[in-house]
Structure 1
């Protein structure tokens, strides 16, 4: 019976680690996913069927990812790259902030430590989103 308490704590830690990893992974695709959802909803609302709207959403997702990578590679001025990276960082930061706040609400009693941990995870997820979507290092 006493083995259940450490086993439960290990399972909670593993579940928390998996949830954070999924947040870190999916935060990179927040902006293309938003484009896909909006395009799919528009297609469905204008009379396309469910299957056609799904195809439009997948095409919009792929188009958003490819176009953002091409624009970041071809954008010679620094301000163009900063705008593109900003469009990637802002949704990733918002998603990771809300996700981390929701998880830490019941785990960390102190509001200041919860805020500090949330900011650390938000910065890590945002920089990870940029590194995942734009793995190259463009020459200046």
Structure 2
């Protein structure tokens, strides 16, 4: 039974790491949606209104970010928008990694080192995913007909 528990723990950690890497791109839209949903709820919209406002805010954040990444010409604007999506993902990666390693190692220095490595890995993954999601279609290519 002990071996089964260890194996299930490894599978669970692997699953949550996969989930973190997959959903890291959506950290900023989730934050915006939750913030706007809570604001709407406290403004008197109730539960349905708060959920609706939060969902619309999250969708608009993701949609506008992707559109700006696709259509913006200045590199500084594209990098700024990409960093706006990457920063919350890196912070989430830091705390997720810290939550895992604090149970595995007693040294706070090594916990911090591994947490920073996790934040960098999640940040790079989020950057790659954000930039590939918004990659413009190649122009000037046509399909040759036989």
**Residue pairs, 1:1-140, within 5 angstroms:** 4-135=1-132, 136-137=134-135
Secondary structure of the residue that 1:32 maps to in structure 2? helix
TM-score by length of 1: 0.86
Q: What does the per-residue CA deviation read over 1:19-73, in whole Å, with 9 as the maximum and x for residues that have no partner?
A: 2122222322111111111111221122212112111111111100000000111
Q: CA RMSD in A?
A: 1.9
Query: Does the 8 Å contact 1:28/1:126 carry over to 2?
Result: no
What are the ranges of 5 or more consecutive residues in structure 1 without an aligned counterpart?
none
**Inter-partner Cα distance in structure 2 for 1:30 and 1:9:** 30
**Inter-partner Cα distance in structure 2 for 1:114 and 1:59:** 38
- Which structure is higher in RCO with an 8 Å CA cutoff and minimum separation 6? 1
TM-score by length of 2: 0.82
User: Displacement, 1:112?
Assistant: 4.2
Query: Does the 8 Å contact 2:29/2:62 carry over to 1?
Result: yes
Aligned residue pairs total 136
**Inter-partner Cα distance in structure 2 for 1:31 and 1:128:** 15
Q: What does the per-residue CA deviation read over 1:62-98, in whole Å, with 9 as the maximum and x for residues that have no partner?
A: 1000000001111111110111111111111111101
